[in-house]
């Protein structure tokens, strides 16, 4: 009986074996195709990531260049404004100095207008003085008081 079972198993194996081999071959082929598709998808994904990263770096470099150019233009504008501002400050200082000189000259002219010559010693004394500080005499004597003429 054991021989009969072995013979039956051999017949079944011979009948089924080509079909099983075909199934295994089909499964192996499907596996290889699936692996190829997965590898292609992985390569496509890696290339996409690489291209996106490269494009992102290019965009950031372009933005960086734009910012640098903007800062350079701002710096030049600020330097120009500073130069103009310092030039205006120098001009204002010159105007103030000229105004101060004019004011000093005006005060000097006003002081000179208030001076008269002493009739005794011919020194300059303030108008309305009771005594000459040089000779000690009264300028309001019999002789008339002469005004000082300003030289121009």
Rounded CA-CA distance 131/108 in Å is 22
Contact 135, 118 (CB under 8 A): yes
Distances (CA, A) of 79 to 34, 74, 84, 97, 105: 66, 8, 9, 27, 38
Rounded CA-CA distance 17/111 in Å is 138
**The whole model's pTM is what?**
0.37
Rounded CA-CA distance 23/26 in Å is 5
Mean pLDDT over all residues of the chain? 86
Pairing of strands 146-147, 124-126: unpaired
What residue spans define the domains of the chain?
16-113, 115-147
93-143 per-position pLDDT tens digit = 999 999 999 999 988 887 777 788 888 888 888 888 888 889 988 887 534
130-149 per-position pLDDT tens digit = 888 899 888 875 344 455 55
Contact 129, 119 (CB under 8 A): no
Rounded CA-CA distance 8/6 in Å is 5
Rounded CA-CA distance 45/53 in Å is 12
Q: For position 149, what pLDDT does the model report?
A: 53
């Amino acid at each position: 009986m054991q021989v009969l079972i072995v013979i039956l198993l051999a017949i079944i194996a011979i009948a089924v074996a080509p079909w099983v081999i075909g199934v295994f071959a089909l499964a192996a082929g499907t596996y290889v195709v699936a692996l190829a598709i997965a590898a292609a998808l992985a390569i496509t994904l890696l290339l996409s990531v690489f291209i996106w990263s490269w494009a992102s770096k290019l965009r950031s470099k372009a933005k960086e260049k734009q910012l640098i150019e903007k800062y350079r233009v701002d710096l030049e504008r600020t330097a120009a404004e500073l130069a103009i501002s310092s030039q205006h400050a120098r001009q204002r200082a010159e105007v103030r100095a000229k105004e101060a000189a004019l004011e000093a000259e005006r005060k000097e002219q006003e002081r000179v207008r208030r001076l008269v010559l002493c009739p005794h010693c011919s020194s300059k004394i303030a108008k309305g003085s009771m005594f000459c500080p040089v000779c000690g005499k009264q300028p309001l004597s019999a002789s008339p008081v002469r005004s000082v003429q300003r030289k121009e």
